[in-house]
A = this chain, B = another copy of it.
């Protein structure tokens, strides 16, 4: 069987047709038509579908289902995009719009992109076989999703899962959501960037300042991580604080859900064992269940998580 997945981002619409082994058999990327009415996006999606089906020599009606992942909130019936700011999609009936354009009846599903990525990790990645699992993605923000009872969990009231907005620091830094001290304010790549920029200004002789040529605009999370790996004391101190914050976040989730696996993805996770080694050590030392907690592992689906997860939304 073939499953079509779309991962719509503010830059590109990435699409793929996935088979029963969760392998991507055809791919297509189109620039996202930012600022145009959503119908322009649907046009592009349809032509991507036709092109990929042709490439595989199948009719569109042979698709078992179509899934769409978007970076934003979805209505509880999973039919409309309520708010996807990066796409400028506000209350868009995306499922119906795609269905209306299909030559044949094919089921169409819609999900938040973090949920789609979590489903991809469940089917084919780091959460395979889990009854209770968590995906955390550490990027510009912090996203993720939950597997409960062996299935993707979309919140008890279908509002979704927003683990980046768990509160980790009462009265902490202001978050874009309006609350303070959200996990996202302390565990995102953005936190590392902010601290790196401050270090460039405060410690002009640090390795970080040199790496950024004393220009704060050149500081990204990788700058801080690379300088820490190279042994720079300032960068090491920032990274140690980051690990300590992330450990508290992980311990908080473990205290509530005691998951079998916590998979961590996103840009910061590319630090590899330099992150996972000290993180596991600190969680072992802090976690209520001592060392009896579940595994903390890198997510494995990478950039394909959205496509594969979207394609799998209708997989049973």
Contacts and interface: CB of A to CB of B under 8 A. Distances in A.
Interface of A: 130-133, 146, 148-149, 155-170, 172, 177-179, 181-182, 186, 244-245, 248-249, 251-253, 255-260, 286-289, 292-294
Given A156-B258, A162-B288, A294-B156, A251 B167 contact: yes
A294 B74 CA distance: 17
Given A170-B244, A179-B288, A260 B165 contact: no
A174 B137 CA distance: 29
A293 B164 CA distance: 17
Residue in A130, A161, A251, A253 with the greatest tally of chain B CB atoms within 10 Å: A251
Contacts of A257: 146, 155-156, 161, 256
Contacts of A155: 132, 257-258
A223 B170 CA distance: 25
A186 B170 CA distance: 10
Given A161-B257, A162-B256, A179-B286, 13 more contacts: A146-B256, A148-B149, A156-B259, A157-B258, A157-B293, A157-B294, A159-B289, A161-B255, A161-B258, A163-B255, A178-B286, A179-B288, A181-B248
A169 B170 contact: yes
Given A156-B260, A159-B292, A255 B166 contact: yes
A210 B248 CA distance: 40
Q: Which of A158, A160, A179 has the most CB of B within 10 A?
A: A179
Contacts of A288: 162, 165, 177, 179
A217 B172 CA distance: 33
B168 A167 contact: yes
A163 B166 CA distance: 13
A218 to B, nearest CB: 29
Contacts of A131: 156
Nearest to A289: B159
14 contacts: A130-B156, A156-B259, A157-B259, A163-B256, A165-B251, A167-B252, A167-B255, A168-B168, A170-B245, A179-B287, A182-B255, A252-B252, A253-B256, A256-B256
A167 B248 contact: yes
Given A149-B149, A288-B179, A166 B293 contact: no
A177 B283 CA distance: 13
A162 to B, nearest CB: 5
A148 B294 CA distance: 19
Contacts of A172: 170
> Which of A168, A178, A258 gathers most chain B CB within 10 Å?
A258
Given A132-B156, A292-B157, A166 B286 contact: no
CB-based closest 5 A-B pairs: A132-B156, A155-B258, A165-B288, A165-B255, A166-B252
B169 A169 contact: yes
